């Protein structure tokens, strides 16, 4: 059986592998949220950034992309994804049922935030913007993560009003005279 991976954040613009196929899909009862402190990739322990995570929300919906992995690359891709996404165990790996852009169910692997993990957080949008504007981690500035994700959501026609607000606010916070 083919492995599908659901991307809703950085996987949208950097899946780390070349997919055989990709389809727009949505995951019911979850939402995309900057609810995880990033202490490795987009921040540090002393100055954490924020990254997106799937957070359970009854009645919610997260639209993203399902990527099909080439069968001969399944083991390699899984190992790479686990190294990247499970670096601090703030996410857990889960198989979920997506609804693809044709309305058909699709089983996919994804990464969901562990609400009991120390990196789980809930901040208002202003606090999120302040943190994202200044944080830098091993994979670069937190602003790059935000701007790339927002750009790819827009290209896919996926509306996210919180993301739009954050982009505008972070651009204002980081503007130089």
Point out the residues that are catalytic: 85
Q: E strand or H helix at 136, and its extent?
A: strand 136-137
Nearest residue to 169 via CA among 138, 123, 137: 123
Q: What are phi and psi for residue 125, nearest 5 degrees?
A: -60, -35
Enter the tokens of residue 21.
């196929």
3-state helix, strand, coil in the chain (%, to 5): 30, 40, 30
- Which tokens is 149 given? 């994700």
Contact 135, 127 (CB under 8 A): no
According to DSSP, residue 120 is labeled: B
The pair phi, psi for residue 174, each rounded to 5°, is: -100, 0
DSSP H or E stretch at residue 172: helix 161-174
């Amino acid at each position: 059986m083919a492995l599908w991976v659901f991307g809703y954040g950085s996987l949208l613009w950097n899946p780390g592998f070349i997919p055989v196929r990709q389809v727009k899909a949505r995951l019911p009862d979850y939402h995309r949220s900057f609810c995880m402190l990033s202490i490795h990739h987009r921040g540090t322990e002393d100055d954490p950034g924020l990254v997106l995570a799937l957070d359970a929300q009854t009645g919610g919906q997260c639209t993203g992309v399902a990527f099909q992995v080439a069968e001969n690359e399944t083991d390699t891709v899984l190992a790479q994804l686990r190294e990247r996404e499970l670096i601090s165990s703030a996410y857990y790996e889960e198989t979920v049922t997506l609804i693809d852009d044709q309305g058909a169910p699709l089983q996919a692997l994804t990464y969901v935030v562990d609400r009991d993990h120390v990196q789980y957080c809930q901040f208002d949008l202003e606090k999120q913007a302040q943190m994202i504007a200044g944080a830098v981690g091993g994979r670069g500035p937190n602003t790059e993560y935000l701007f790339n994700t927002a750009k790819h959501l827009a290209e896919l026609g996926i509306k996210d009003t919180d993301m739009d607000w954050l982009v505008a606010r972070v651009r204002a916070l980081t503007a130089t005279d």
